[in-house]
Structure 1
Amino acid sequence: MSGGASQTLAEALGILPEWHDIAGRHHITAPETQRALLKAMGVAAAGEPGPAESLAELEARRAARRLPEEVVTTPGAELRLPLVAPTEWRLDLEDGGSESGRAEETIQITPPAGLHRLTAGEESCLIIAAPETAPGVAEVLGRTSGRRPHSGGAHGWGVTAALYGLRSPRNLGVGDYADLAVAAEQLAGLGAAFLGINPLHARGAACDGISPYTPSCRTALEPRHIAVDAVLGSRQSETAQALLRDNAARLAAAREGELVDYATCDGLGNDVLRALFADFERSAGPAVDAFAAWRRGPGQALEWFALFEAISLRHGADWRGWPEQLQRFGSPAALSFATANAREVRYHAWLQWLAQRQLSAAQGNAKNAGMGLGLYLDIAVGVRPGGADTWSAPSCFAEGVSLGAPPDAFNPAGQDWALAPFNPLGLHSAAYRPFIEMLRAAMAYAGIIRIDHILGLRRSFWVPEDGAPGGYVAYPLEPLLALIRLEARRAGCVVVGEDLGSVPPGLRDRLAEAGLLGCAVVQFEKQDQRFHPPEGYRAATLASFGTHDTPTLRGWWCGWDIDQRHAINGGDEAGHEAERQQRAAERAALARLLCDENLAPTGLDPDAPPPQADDALAEALHRLLARAGSALVAVQLDDALGSVAQQNLPGTVDEHPNWRRRYPLSVEELGSDPRLRALAALFAPRAATEPQEDQSQEMKSCP
């Protein structure tokens, strides 16, 4: 009986009873998985009478409701909610205003855009009034939506890069916000409409991790990217300048290395910033007044994060290991700590103030230089279980599980990303505030945002820590999608959803209807060993050859990723050879598409293409990408500069230099680099429509 109650309860709370993997295989969610996922939601699910009581309470609560728990509507549309008895009602608007009245049979309201709360008697209902679509690319750029022959409907192209890998003669060995501003200006001069970078979420002062996709907090910015020489007073600070002089040799080595030297940046950067903060504390003037005003105003939303940082440096990066009295956000002990360590808390607030100002300046520089969209910022799919976000709102995150992915051909054991997922029950109870704040934190500084693994708007795969098999949990797609549209409209921001992997039926169409772009990645745009011509890509996509998690153009062509995985993980030679043969077949298929599109370089034999991609072949593949029918096209800086190795090799941590590869030229050289200038010409509005003079002659060599 307990098993039946658990199953019914699980399904009622959105735990899917069955699912299909990317290969189409059918799976049944195991009872132990249902119990583990219910427990992660904070729902009693073990033993008698836990699940039965929880189920009965849930059913009784739902049956007794007169109002729905939440309603999604459009601004200005009349909303009619039937009642079972006359009642007084009140609509509390997001802007602080309110409306009220008495209804006999039906509550009739016309809510403006925003997130509101309707109360009738003892019940309340969340009202989300959102525009039907997020802003489109043409709308944000102020361009018409006419399509160009051969180059599809693309309204702009841009570059994606790793901020940490940007090189300059003035940073601390890690790319910073000042480098970002220069890079954006340089690329804007080449005609790029955007510059995309990795997530800028705060990783945590006490955390020694380096992945930008395992953050502590998605509403705070990463302080390690603060340009210390751009901080007011840095040149006049004797202590800061002495630190830089005394570490000149170490800094020079860090700036010249092929891999990012995080130790130098973090250690020296922290020392310099603390010295500058000490000077700032002793000073007076407009900057000091501005910081104080910021803390009283918008900075109040980050005071809790500053407190978390201060506690973490005393007790460790994972709050679950702190003294028990400090584990509760807002507890008397936490407030007492804040009072006793006010200067340390103020320091971490100051870092956030600096980061916001410098990132805002980078976006301003990008737009002023003519970059139509400016920065393209990424939102990670989850946060560390012991980080700041879960400490501040524990009920909004599931406990004892991790986000992940089910088994597939590349990961037979499935994937565990060690990230805490949103708890849909707690998220609704909190009126989606953590989700909204996450969106606003990125949209404030960007013309485009990318939501990692946007499939999670409908369902996410949770992996229990107790060893039970993973399972899917449903999410409230329409409310979450409405909030994205609402915030995107407010910010004037284009939204891209990373929709790769096992996509639920109909989701891509629904996202497109809402004005969101999906992803069209050349490496994956194939069926039955044939690649789709990019001209046929869906208009509601951002097209690229790859992503930060996939091989580079040249790496894919030569099978670098296959060789690396087998070198690290071992495995039988037969399996290795089978993967290489598969890639050879894909290489031939892509070469055939180049021939079909009259883009193949001289001498290319699609039945026996070369094992390495030279410059001519890379140019042909970029010409192919330029024909995408997508709204936007992105070129990876790694591909533009001829890199073979990729930024991240999924499934590895220390076995491969993930998140540490630096670019071979400085940000000041981007605009004059001949490789980038040549690519800019390819992606210029008319480039894809004008064949090269000798193009027809070249095509004669294709069988």
Structure 2
Amino acid sequence: MEADSERLAFDPPSAALARLADSWDIATGYWSFFGDWVEVPASTLRAVLQAMGVEAQTEPDVEAALAATEAAPWRELLPPSIVVQAGSGEVAVHVADHHDVSLAVALEDGSWRDVGVPDQQPESRMVDDSLVWEVRVALPADLPLGWHTLHAWQRPHGSGEVDREGTCVLVVSPTHLPLPAGRPEYGGRAWGLMAQLYSVRSRRSWGMGDFADLADLAAVAGSERSDFLLINPIHAAEVTSPIEPSPYLPATRRFLAPLYVRPEDIREAAYLAPDDRAQVAAARATVSASNTDPSRIDRDAAWAAKRAALQVIHSAPRSSGRQRSLDAFLERQGPPLADFALWCALEEHYAVTLAAGEERPAEAWDIGSDLVARLRMELAGRVAFHSWLQWIAEEQIAAAQAAAHDAGMRIGLMHDLAVGVHTKGSDAWSMRDMYAPGITVGAPPDMYNQQGQDWSQPPWLPKALEGAGYRPLRDMVRNLVRHAGALRVDHIIGFFRLWWIPAGLGATAGTYVRYDHEAMIGVLALEAHRAGAVVIGEDLGNVEPWVREYLSARGILGTSVLWFENEADGRPMPPEHYRKALLATVNTHDLPPTAGYLAEDHVRLRARLGLLTQPVEEAHADARRERETMLAVLRGRGLIGDDPTEQQIIEALHVYLAAAESVLLGVSLVDAVGERRVQNQPGTDTQYPNWQVPLADSAGEPVLVEDLAANERFVSLAGAVDHALRRVARERGLA
């Protein structure tokens, strides 16, 4: 009876609506996590089309939209953008009847390259009562990598006069990124440390980890033969309280969080007048005591203190050389930085007016409004301050990367790219036309979240990205890899498809929207290639096998987590069966640290928070069974004895993982010091201090950066990994 009711409630799309949705790369059905084929209701398809600017509420609307969609490319001489792999590619040119066309490429370096138009049998179509021909033209195979512009000129037969001209962005990307350069003694492999930067503090911090702590951590890790340091996303968040604690829900993905700036490391701070220096010291004094508090990171307090100090330093005079450096930075970043800094200034401005009882006017949410134009002038001083902060942040992250290389790291910093941005953040405000209105992204139901997930992030509009020549994606990646050796892309399946959720329908009523993965991966690969950076895609979960094969073919590494890699019978997969093009780790930031997992702390925490979907006794039994299965595997390889300590098990797990061929091996800092508390408990919001847990040891005592070099557990685990990688390389004849 219940199944009949669900069947009656389902609103099936018409054939025309389904065809229209498919033409806009909207899935009309999908395979669920549980292996079922799910049909998408018409209400979802209409809502997603509406967000894309396509009217489809009635069948006449659908028919009209379908005709317009099919005719649209035929009305343009060239598409808005093309992304091709080096040595291949073609372009479809739409030419009016009785006309000729010629093409040329304006290369990035200013030179030109002609494009031939071979004889062929073109297709034709009547468009607006006129005959149009589609000619597919092969691009020169020797075009250099880069961002070029394709030009096309249409002329009537027998005439030299151009009656139509078109241009499009032409991106030529590398076919394949090289594998990272590891250590010869490891057989070309490398290992690195993974850390949540905000949690890693020193005695000189301002209540949370910062770029100076990052440089010191890189130096310590490098001295232990670590070749990379993966950190949480350091995208900019809010500049007013409350600051969103999740680094995966930023205000922008293009600019850095000034929250991580160390004020005293700014050159001008060294030349402050005594009174100004006292103000900086007083600001730090308000939060310095919290550096040794193991309970919780307070971003709002840290930013309030830093902002007070940074304003003093910003007011100090700069040398002519420093000013020229700042001016060059501002010119290079251009309008996007000016818009981001304006957003920061507006957030501060309206925080004050809100405190006075005044609401933010609707015009303020429109970057093109007269009000925003006026406030851009009135708040010029604050705009300059926030622009300056980005210059300082870039200087300090560059210094951290230099410290990593100086310490012997072959890769250095590995940044993390979040899936999306906050709905009311800077990117969604300044690039409103690039995002789908009334839509958020998430995930469909699975065994962990039967109601699905809504991540409260607006998705990019695929057509808008194409129309913008993928510059927003380019600029975002370029800024991140400018001072890094690698980039981890969280949920890289989002470059292929995203789960769109129309407002008010709930996560279960969403559907997948496909993106041009050739274009998006091409842009990612080109910018990584230019920076000499490695790219790692987080490809966990429900990912189609062909996606992993495609990424591997493009030289983008995948991700494997020990606890998720199992054979068909449920037993742990031998590491020898892992993929080579991979970053292999024991855990992730969304899992409990191994010490806490072994102690079943995660079960007790989920029980306390009411997150268990089974009796607590069963959950403990399942955890013990999984743990004992893994311990049996470790014993079978002679990696632990009958009664191993927690530290011995953690080291054995990493030695076990070293047997994989995977080119990169990641070691969580929390595992290296014995931390037991999870950084992020999925399924919670305010019930648990997600992304606010300072680094501590197994006894709950804070672990500071200065103490790491002498931390017995840290040094022992690093040594165990080093020894294991050397031994495996020798056994395989690779070293």
The two structures share one fold, judged by TM-score above 0.5: yes
The structure with higher relative contact order (CA 8 Å, sep 6+) is 1
Alpha-carbon distance in 1 for matches of 2:560, 2:631: 19
In the superposition, relative to structure 1, how do residues 483 and 681 fare at CA in structure 2: closer, same or farther (>3 Å)? same
Residue equivalent to 1:75: 86
For residue 672 of structure 1, give the secondary structure of its aligned residue in structure 2. coil
Query: Do the aligned partners of 2:33 and 2:446 also contact (CA within 8 Å) in 1?
Result: yes
Contact 1:94/1:116 (<8 A) preserved: yes
Q: CA deviation at 1:563?
A: 2.5
The alignment status of 1:484 with 2:524, answered yes or no, reads yes
Structure 1 residues 146-203: Cα deviation after superposition (integer angstroms, max 9, x where no partner): 9x6xxxx661101000110111111111111111111101110111001111001001
Give the Cα separation in 2 of the matches to 1:509 and 1:318.
Answer: 53
In 2: Cα distance, 1:534 partner to 1:2 partner: 46
Partner residue in 2 for 1:133 = 176
Q: Mean Cα displacement is larger for which, 122-131 or 382-391? A: 122-131
Aligned to 1:351: 389
CA apart distance, 1:238: 3.5
Distance (Å, rounded) in 2 between the aligned partners of 1:250 and 1:307: 28
Q: CA deviation at 1:450?
A: 0.3
Question: Which stretch has the larger CA shift, 431-440 or 389-398?
Answer: 389-398
Instruction: Please report how far the alpha carbon of residue 107 of structure 1 lies from its aligned counterpart in structure 2 after TM superposition.
Output: 4.5
- Pick which of 285-294 and 531-540 moved more: 285-294
- More moved, 250-259 vs 404-413: 250-259
Asked if 2 retains the 8 angstrom alpha-carbon contact of 1:601 and 1:620, the reply is no
Higher deviation after alignment, 105-114 or 644-653:
105-114
For 2:432 and 2:234, the matched residues in 1 are separated by: 22
Shift of 1:239: 4.4
Cα distance in 1 for partners of 2:653, 2:279 equals 47
8 Å contact from structure 2 (residues 80, 469) kept in 1: no
d(CA) in 2 for partners of 1:388, 1:296: 20
Conserved in 2, the CA contact under 8 Å of 1:601 and 1:617?
Answer: no
The letter for the 2-side match of 1:160 is M
Equivalent AA in structure 1 for residue 290 of structure 2: A
**What's the counterpart of residue 582 of structure 2?**
541
Identical amino acids, percent of aligned pairs: 33
Deviations 1:204-232 (A, max 9, x none): 21352121110111111000110011112
1:260 is matched with which residue? 297
1:267-278 map, 5 Å:
267-278=304-315
Equivalent position of 2:224 in the other structure: 190
Matches within 5 A, 1:501-516: 501-516=541-556
Give the 3 Å change call, closer, same or farther, for CA 248–178 of structure 1 in structure 2.
Answer: closer
Would you say the 8 A contact 1:403–1:417 is kept in 2? yes
Q: CA deviation at 1:532?
A: 0.7
Query: What is the 5 A alignment of 1:99-118?
Result: 99=113, 103=117, 105=119, 107=137, 109-110=139-140, 111-118=143-150
* Alpha-carbon distance change, 65 to 347 in structure 1, aligned in 2, over 3 angstroms: closer
Give me the whole-angstrom Cα distance separating, in 1, the residues matched to 2:690 and 2:681: 7
Distance 2:249 2:115 in 1: 48
Residues 14/537 of structure 1: CA separation in 2 closer, same or farther (3 Å cut): same
> Match of 1:241?
277
Change in CA separation of 1:329 and 1:89 when aligned onto 2, cut-off 3 Å: farther
Q: Does residue 86 in structure 1 map to residue 118 in structure 2?
A: no
* Offset at residue 566 of structure 1 (A): 2.5
Greater CA drift, 342-351 or 3-12? 3-12
Q: For residue 28 of structure 2, what is the aligned residue in structure 1? A: 17
Partners of 2:581 and 2:116 in 1: CA distance? 45
**Residue 62 of structure 2, aligned match among 35, 39, 51:** 51
Distance in 2, matches of 1:685 and 1:443, equals 31
Whole-Å separation in 1 of the counterparts to 2:234 and 2:434? 22
Please, which of 433, 439, 443 is the counterpart of residue 401 of structure 1? Answer: 439
Q: What SS class does the counterpart of residue 649 from structure 1 fall into?
A: coil
The TM-score with structure 2 as length reference comes to 0.86
Q: Distance in 1 between matches of 2:27 and 2:602?
A: 34
Partners of 1:222 and 1:82 lie apart in 2 by 44
Q: Which moved more, 1:57-66 or 1:403-412?
A: 57-66
Instruction: Give the drift of 1:48.
Output: 5.2
DSSP 3-state at the match of 1:219? coil
Counterpart for residue 697 of structure 1: none
Residues 86, 104 of structure 1: 8 Å contact kept: no
Please give the residue correspondences for 1:385-400 in structure 2 after superposition, counting only pairs within 5 Å: 385-400=423-438
The alpha carbon displacement at 1:397 in A equals 1.4
Q: Is the Cα–Cα contact under 8 Å of residues 455 and 504 in structure 1 kept in the other structure?
A: no
Asked if the contact 1:508/1:518 (under 8 Å) is kept, the reply is yes
Amino acid at match of 2:100: P
Distance 1:18 1:578, change over 3 A: farther
1:221 and 2:271 correspond: no
What corresponds to 1:203 in structure 2? 237
Aligned partner of residue 620 in structure 2, secondary structure: helix
Q: Quick one: structure 1 residues 313 and 51, their matched pair in 2 at CA, closer, same or farther if it must change by over 3 Å? A: farther
3-state SS of 1:297 partner: helix
Provide the rounded CA distance (Å) in 2 between the counterparts of 1:580 and 1:615: 21
Aligned to 1:177: 211
**Does residue 279 of structure 1 match 2:335?**
no
Distance 1:237 1:535 in 2: 62
Structure 2 CA distance, aligned partners of 1:587 and 1:196?
Answer: 27
Matched to 1:602, the amino acid is: D
The question of whether the paired residues in 2 share the 8 Å contact of 1:546 and 1:553 is answered with yes
- Contact 2:149/2:167, CA 8 A, preserved across alignment: yes
Q: Does 1:637 align with 2:651?
A: no
1:156 maps to which residue? 190
2-side partners of 1:456 and 1:28: how far apart?
21
C-alpha distance after superposition, 1:89-141 (max 9, x if no partner): 24233444444578474745423212333233455554331111123112xx5
CA distance in 1, matches of 2:649, 2:352: 47
Q: C-alpha separation between the residues in 1 aligned to 2:88 and 2:306?
A: 53
Relative to the length of structure 1, the TM-score reads: 0.89
How well do the aligned residues superpose, as a CA RMSD in angstroms? 2.7
Shift of 1:303: 1.5
Task: Give the length in aligned residue pairs.
Answer: 670
Give the Cα separation in 1 of the matches to 2:452 and 2:92: 45
- The aligned runs of 1:468-617 (5 Å cut-off) are 469-527=509-567, 528-569=569-610, 574-603=614-643, 614-617=646-649
Task: Provide the C-alpha distance between the structure 1 equivalents of 2:518 and 2:364, rounded to a whole number of angstroms.
Answer: 37
**Aligned-pair distance for 1:688?**
5.8
Q: Give secondary structure in 2 for the equivalent of 1:616.
A: helix
Q: Report if aligned partners of 1:196, 1:375 keep a CA contact under 8 Å in 2.
A: yes
Structure 1 partner of 2:331: 296
